Amino acid sequence: MGKIIAIANQKGGVGKTTSAVNLSACLAYLNHKVLLVDIDPQGNATSGVGINKADMDECIYNVLVEDLDANKVCVKTPVENLDAIPATIQLAGAEIELVPTISREVRLKKALEKVKDHYEYIIIDCPPSLGLLTINSLTAADSVLIPVQCEYYALEGLSQLLNTIRLVQKHLNKDLMIEGVLLTMLDARTNLGIQVIEEVKKYFQDKVYRSIIPRNIRLGEAPSHGQPIILYDPKSRGAEVYLDLAKEVIANGERVRERN
Ligand code: ADP
Ligand code: MG
């Protein structure tokens, strides 16, 4: 049964989508069956794995709002072992349309139960808010991976996110765990980056991944080619580090399983 990891942080531009796309692709590259679920109306994860949104008649919107079977919207991507459930701009309405519906917070959880057995990892790319779409993701997930950008004010807003996670644990998903905290877009030439790493490690301790994502031009370019970094430039530093991250995620999962 697949492990569901939500990639969340209500701040925009911290590397959620880049990490969702590239962690998914690297797990798939390491021979795991992976499903990437795009639940951000911007659909950047969808186009990031080479799916043309204009070609899609149905997307995660129809699953969440109209109870369409999730199997019907799972599509293959150019990466072997990686499927995706796309999002199109239609999803922008869901945040409001879901409000008056029954069990509005558990719709994604219910939907993913139908596909969970076909995958080893299901990675959800959340939108930059703590609204119903993110709540659905946290409710469906086994764990949450939090990308934190290495910049001034890095920790700002995280207490709000942690508070939301606690509320979800209390009312909707008591087993939700913090998968890990991922430092992103490190500019190694500045002292600021080093300071931020220290600060985040002080706060999150061993939850912080050893793999730290550098600012890397190739990582920034890859989405406009509709390719994860492992296809676009497998020799780049960005590809190496996301591959390291995927290995850490796999190893952490094995450790947790051994403990239980
Ligand atoms: P979010 O999903 O949190 O809004 P994105 O992953 O879309 O953030 O990243 C924001 C922008 O920064 C995008 O244009 C992306 O291509 C770029 N970007 C993300 N990570 C890196 C990186 N490590 N190096 C260079 N550019 C990056
Ligand atoms: Mg995004």
The pLDDT tens digits of the residues spanning 135-185 come to 999 999 999 999 999 988 888 889 999 999 999 999 999 999 999 999 999
The per-residue pLDDT for range 92-128, each reduced to its tens digit, is 999 899 988 888 999 999 999 999 999 999 999 999 9
Atom of ligand 1 nearest to the CA of 223: 16
pLDDT at 254: 87
pLDDT(1) > 80: no
pLDDT at 181: 97
Nearest CA to ligand 1 atom 24: 215
What are the phi and psi torsion angles at 179 (to 5°)? -70, -45
Neighbours of 206 (CB within 10 A): 9
Output the CA–CA distances (angstroms, integers) from residue 100 to 64, 96, 129, 198, in the order listed. Answer: 13, 8, 19, 44
Query: Residues 5, 121: contact at Cβ < 8 Å?
Result: yes
Contacting residues for 225 by C-beta, under 8 A, at least 6 apart = 232
H/E element holding 180? strand 177-184
Nearest CA to ligand 1 atom 6: 15
Question: Ligand 2 centroid to 14 CA: how many Å?
Answer: 8
Contacting residues for 162 by C-beta, under 8 A, at least 6 apart = none
pLDDT at 191: 85
Question: Ligand 2 centroid to 12 CA: how many Å?
Answer: 7
Atom of ligand 1 nearest to the CA of 9: 3
Mean pLDDT, rounded, for 183-210: 91
Query: Residues 65, 115: contact at Cβ < 8 Å?
Result: no
**Distance of alpha carbon 184 from alpha carbon 212, whole angstroms:** 6
Query: Residues 117, 2: contact at Cβ < 8 Å?
Result: yes
Question: What's the complex ipTM?
Answer: 0.99
Q: What is the largest CA-CA distance in the chain?
A: 51
Query: Residues 180, 209: contact at Cβ < 8 Å?
Result: yes
Neighbouring residues of the ion ligand 2, judged by CB less than 5 Å: 16-17
What residues are in contact with ligand 1 under a 6 Å CB criterion?
12-18, 44, 128, 184-185, 213, 215-216, 219-220, 223
Nearest to 48 by CA among 70, 25, 75: 25
Mean pLDDT, rounded, for 79-84: 97
Reading the block at residue 180, the tokens are 């890990």
The overall pTM is greater than 0.80: yes
Neighbours of 220 (CB within 10 A): 13
Nearest CA to ligand 1 atom 17: 220
Question: Ligand 2 centroid to 127 CA: how many Å?
Answer: 6
Ligand whose nearest atom lies closest to the CA of 10? 1
**Distance of alpha carbon 44 from alpha carbon 49, whole angstroms:** 9
First to last CA, the chain: 16
